[in-house]
Amino acid sequence: MIKKRKKGLLIGADGQLGTDLRKTFKDYTILDPLISELDITKFKKVKEYIKRNSPDLIINTAAFHQIDECEKNPQKSFLVNTLAVKNLAEICQELNIPLVHISTDYVFGLDEKRKAPYIEEDLPGPVNIYGLSKLAGEYFVQATLKKYFIIRPAALFGFAGPKGKKENFVEAMLRLAKKQGELKVKNDEFTSPTYTKELAEAIVGLIATEEYGTYHITSQGECSWYEFAKKIFELTQVKVNLKPVSSDKFPTFAKRPKYSVLENRHLKEMKMDKMSRWQDALKKYLEEKGLI
């Protein structure tokens, strides 16, 4: 007897992570509607779509993640990142569908003296509307479902580039270097730059375990945005006058975390943490893009 392939609904399939997830899923037939077909803020239509297509799994990568715009428009931020997620969770509960929800390292950052990576059990503390709205979305998933994966990545870069933004950090640095010749980059905000191709592989592997819960999945190690930029130029052999500066030299509308580095504690406990060092992941990405 031929085994029927499972069906997965991938929301945000044309985004940076969504593009790599779509390529990585092998055991699922993937539904990948565009936002014109499935807008998660249209609650009734989302339910109708899900009931009509009967997926065995839902993966939500959709988010309003333009940090300053979230601060200026909290209504939209909470609509997309919180209320739409609550609606998805309620539909999944009613229809007994597991939900994979992509969150963010920005649920942390309130402790400005922090120097140790956050583990999944650490108490969140966002510093901006984006982080707060994403955290509220997490809480609705946890309160509504038993079959869920909440994934917290950080500082994503991938072949497709981010949906809703012009470019990822790597692309921005290379563009600005060609245009300006001198760049100033913050050296007092720390993260773990993460390659979406590796992240997608880790997520797909995790789903197969059915070990539901909250997971940090980022590249190994940490760096400041200045150190990240320095490595980009080193690997691509782009000559630029790069200067480290403090974040107070770059005032932004929304505050950013000083430190939001994550440890993949739960993945490590499961012997499933295959994420590369961020420097190696960056090299793989630049090779994929044909930039080195």
Q: Which of 118, 130, 215, 259 is catalytic?
A: 130
Sorting pLDDT into bands at 50, 70 and 90, what band is 2?
Answer: low
- Locate 116 and state its tokens: 């140790």
Vertex 73, ends 69 and 139: CA angle to 5°?
95
d(CA 292, CA 287): 5
Residue-wise pLDDT tens digits, 62-121: 999 999 999 999 999 999 999 999 999 999 999 999 999 999 999 999 998 999 999 999
Q: What is the pLDDT of residues 249-285, one digit of tens each?
A: 888 999 999 999 999 999 999 999 999 999 999 999 9
Q: Which CATH class is domain 6-166+194-221+262-276?
A: alpha beta
Alpha helices in 145-249 (DSSP H): 169-180, 196-209, 225-236
pTM for this structure? 0.96
Sequence ranges of the domains in the chain: 6-166+194-221+262-276
Phi-psi region of 237 (alpha: psi -120 to 50; beta: other; left: phi over 0): left
What CA–CA distance (Å, rounded) separates 133 from 73?
A: 11
Q: Is 130 a catalytic residue?
A: yes
Joined tokens for residue 106: 């920005």
- Mean pLDDT, the chain, rounded, equals 95
